[in-house]
Structure 1
């Protein structure tokens, strides 16, 4: 693995962790209370995970 690949994987994983922790922090504070907020948060989690896996896959080529 090259250095650029390792840096991309590190940035991707750390940004995924930060965005997911923001969503859970919002839920702890009670800011997610209606159905639209919950569904948008779930969609955001899936988007971040899929985008992160896609970036990791591309960095391995």
Structure 2
């Protein structure tokens, strides 16, 4: 499954940590991209954060290659 960052629209890699933030709906992507998106949307109210860790060293991704 391909996951794209809602901030920069780049495809997330297997080894990257996927951050999730709830503004009015859930957004996923790179932490810094989501911070920039928060500023762009001019949101000052409390938000909810969560994350999903990427694959650790020596774990194979969907392409059969190691994360390093």
Q: TM-score range by the shorter chain?
A: 0.3 to 0.5
- Bigger relative contact order, structure 1 or 2 (CA pairs below 8 A, ≥6 apart): 1
Higher helix proportion (structure 1 or 2): 1
Q: Which has the larger radius of gyration?
A: 1
When normalised by structure 2's length, the TM-score is 0.34
**TM-score computed with the length of structure 1 as normaliser:** 0.36
